[in-house]
Chains A and B, each alone.
Chain A
Amino acid sequence: MTNPETKREITMLEAVREALVQEMRRDENVFLIGEDIGVYGGAFGVSKGMQEEFGMERVRDTPISEAGIAGACVGAALMGMRPVGEVMFMDFLTLMMDQLVNQAAKIRVMFGGKVSIPLVMRAPYGSGTGAAAQHCQSLESWFISTPGIKVICPSTPYDAKGLLVSAIRDNNPVVFMENKLLYKAKGFVPEDLYTLPISKGDVKREGKDMTIFSYGVTAQRSLEAAEILAKEGIDIEVIDPRTLKPLDKDLVIQSVSKTGRLLIVHEATKTGGFAGEVTSVVCESEAFDRLDAPIKRLCGLDIPIPYNRTLEKAATPQVEDIVKAARSLAIEGR
């Protein structure tokens, strides 16, 4: 369990900004590119004030063309820069697919390792803002199934800062998912520049009765659910992979081997979602023989996110849903 030794609390939004600012001060090859990130400060205000420090060259506003942003990132990365692109909503990654999937993910291997693509695409994701079906999606599984792209999704300000710095320094394209609701969530974050290892998950809460695997906003909700169930005497371990691809399989296998039960929670839709992959990782490992109940998935419904706020909540796992699912799995057969 990571417990940063600092008393300073900041929001995840501030942690992301701090990572960008500190890394840009350290490395002049790092620059930001996106829609309205300069004067306006970005769709969620992450880069507010940064153009004043770094100028229009390093905090570049673009026309409304996501393909253009991604293409410029790939080109700049090829020329030795370390671009950090911002897409306003993860949903708009659809417009970047060719540049990311067919170019960024492939160029390094197709040129025999002569070039690398150190680009980061920051993608605010998830529902809960009332922004309806085209601005609320969680599209991680598309990129998880594309070799050559790393996918990171932090659930705390501390993880966000350390992992974003690592993502910028990584020589592979990284889709960096930032949950919109978590932007305002506070946590302890060291003021100094630091990195966290990619592909290393974290035990957010230790427990012995069952494991919840979750990331991003649902990891935080799972922690809340675990506290509620602790009062009923159910001791839940919450593990957060932090990096979805490449996955820290050992963390999952160890935890499930210990608890014998696994609930996987994510906001992305269930069918074809990451939970199915995690399930298979467990079933193919030695942890299979330690399972004392079927693995359960609690995921987004297989529907476009509704605009109506009540329906929007109903479409994705909330704290009470996790409590219910975790309770029934924890007590099954006991």
Chain B
Amino acid sequence: MKAEVIMPKVDMDQETGTLVEWLKQEGDTVKKGEPLFVMLTAKASIEVEAPESGILRGITAKKDDVIPVTQVIAYIVSPDEKFEAPVAKPAESAAVKAPEMPSEAKKAENETSSVPTMVAGDASQVRATPLARAIAREKGLDLSAIAGRGPRGRIYKADVLSALDKGVGSIAAKPAMVQAPAGAAPAINIPLPNARIRERIPQKGVRTIIAQRLGYSWNSIPHIYESVNVNMEEIVRLRERVNQVIQNHTGLKVSYTAILALAVARLLPKHPFLNSSFTGDEVILWEDVNLGIATSLEDYLIVPVVRTAQELSLESIVKEMSRLLEAARGKKLEPADMSGSTFTISNLGMFGIESFTAIINPPETAILAVGKMVDTPVVIDGQVVVRPMMNLTLAVDHRVNDGARAAKFLSDLKSTLENPYLLI
């Protein structure tokens, strides 16, 4: 045998990977570095390359299997080698099969809790000295529940010891937000209808994460919503002007979402509390505007991230959004393209939705819901005239922002969109 093919660990917090498809079949000759199979993590799908050249043998995983990372799923052998599948040890023999009975509560629960989230309070995000960590490990304390007094909340030995004194942070007292995958719980107790089943769709991968995060957001974050209607006639004009130029440069059309992204990215640095995260102990104001653009694919909600958008020109934003969308369609988004957003824009205008409210995507503290632009009679200077109007609905985390702060941002955004020359 030349090499083992394993389910790789590509993310810090990844415990399993889903096998999407084999690109090579049993007995195929493969070259080192050639794509061997496609895997799906909680965040992205990734092509995994062959670790060696040879013949692919002993495939044990099939499509849709959820496999613990580092588990062997096939072997690469020499062409002249007689292959005998090694006897698998019991512990690693059975791939965790996609559950066939989704209502089997235990299993579903295991699945969800095995996928760590990135929400505030996650121990992997905690800053602590190695000694503080060692003591917390020894004493079974949850660092995320302990307040650190150092820079950016760094936890020292003294902080851990004082928490120990006060009984703070024992694992049992861990805040429920990480543990309880809200939304899953009621389904367990409420009886299902007595009806014919059309299809059972196991909850897994990206959908698990979505359920978990949005459940957490809905249950734990007090949302406030504010709406404005924006007269988009100047933006329509601006788009007409720049579209041709940018199309000549890049071959890409300028979408209204891109223009909106530009305006939001330029304004957020002036409204830092809307570009922030809340950890429970502190609010972190982000210097960078990493703009999540909520995008719906067939079975997916994904939020590709335009990084440091505050520094980008319209043309760069258009190009980056197109790159991300292309990658998303091919399920080739890198984990880095889909994480770390600090503010999200969600546009349902293309579906004809005129206005809607969105749920904050934690650890962000605000999200902007964008409706369809509609020619609407409005009164200007005492005259009823028709203008292209668009509804913007902002949701903010009331623990961080009050209504006035949200209103200032929204009115700033409205006047910028109505006088886009202010962007210069």
Contacts and interface: CB of A to CB of B under 8 A. Distances in A.
Interface of A: 260, 288-293, 332-334
B130 interface: yes
A85 B46 CA distance: 63
Most buried by B among A288, A289, A292: A292
B130 A333 contact: no
B331 interface: no
A333 B133 CA distance: 14
Interface string B148-171: 111000101111000000000000
Contact of A291 (B131, B148, B149, B159): B131
A260 B157 contact: yes
B129 A293 contact: yes
Given A291-B129, A292-B129, A293-B129, A333 B134 contact: no
A291 to B, nearest CB: 5
Interface residues of B, number: 14
Given A333-B149, A333-B150, A292 B156 contact: yes
Interface of B: 129-134, 148-150, 154, 156-159
A289 B150 contact: no
Most buried by A among B131, B150, B154: B131
A19 to B, nearest CB: 42
- Is the contact region of chain B dominated by helix, strand, or loop, or is it mixed? helix
A291 B132 CA distance: 8
21 contacts: A260-B129, A289-B130, A289-B133, A290-B131, A290-B134, A291-B130, A292-B129, A292-B130, A292-B131, A292-B132, A292-B156, A292-B157, A293-B129, A332-B156, A333-B148, A333-B149, A333-B150, A333-B154, A333-B156, A333-B159, A334-B158
Contacts of B129: 260, 291-293, 333
- Is the contact region of chain A dominated by helix, strand, or loop, or is it mixed? loop
Contacts of B131: 260, 289-292
Given A290-B130, A291-B131, A292-B156, 10 more contacts: A260-B129, A260-B157, A288-B130, A289-B130, A289-B134, A333-B149, A333-B156, A333-B157, A334-B156, A334-B158
Nearest to A283: B130
A289 B150 CA distance: 18
A293 B133 contact: no
A291 B150 CA distance: 14
A334 B162 CA distance: 11
Nearest to A333: B156
B108 to A, nearest CB: 37
B72 to A, nearest CB: 30
Nearest to A257: B131
A290 B134 CA distance: 7
A295 to B, nearest CB: 11
Nearest to A294: B129
Contacts of B159: 333
Contacts of A288: 130
A8 B354 CA distance: 95
Contact of B150 (A260, A290, A332): A332
Contacts of A289: 130-131, 133-134
Contacts of A332: 150, 156
A291 B157 CA distance: 9
A288 B134 CA distance: 10
Nearest to B159: A333
A275 B211 CA distance: 49
A237 B319 CA distance: 58
B241 to A, nearest CB: 51
Nearest to A290: B131
Contacts of A290: 130-131, 134
B314 to A, nearest CB: 41
Given A332-B150, A333-B129, A333-B149, A293 B134 contact: no
9 tightest A-B contacts by CB? A333-B156, A292-B131, A289-B134, A292-B157, A291-B130, A292-B129, A289-B130, A333-B150, A260-B131
A238 B157 CA distance: 22
Contacts of A333: 129, 148-150, 154, 156-159
A289 B138 CA distance: 12
A280 to B, nearest CB: 14
A290 B159 CA distance: 15
B160 to A, nearest CB: 10
A333 B156 CA distance: 6
Nearest to B157: A292
Nearest to A260: B131
A218 B156 CA distance: 29
B390 to A, nearest CB: 50
Contacts of B149: 333
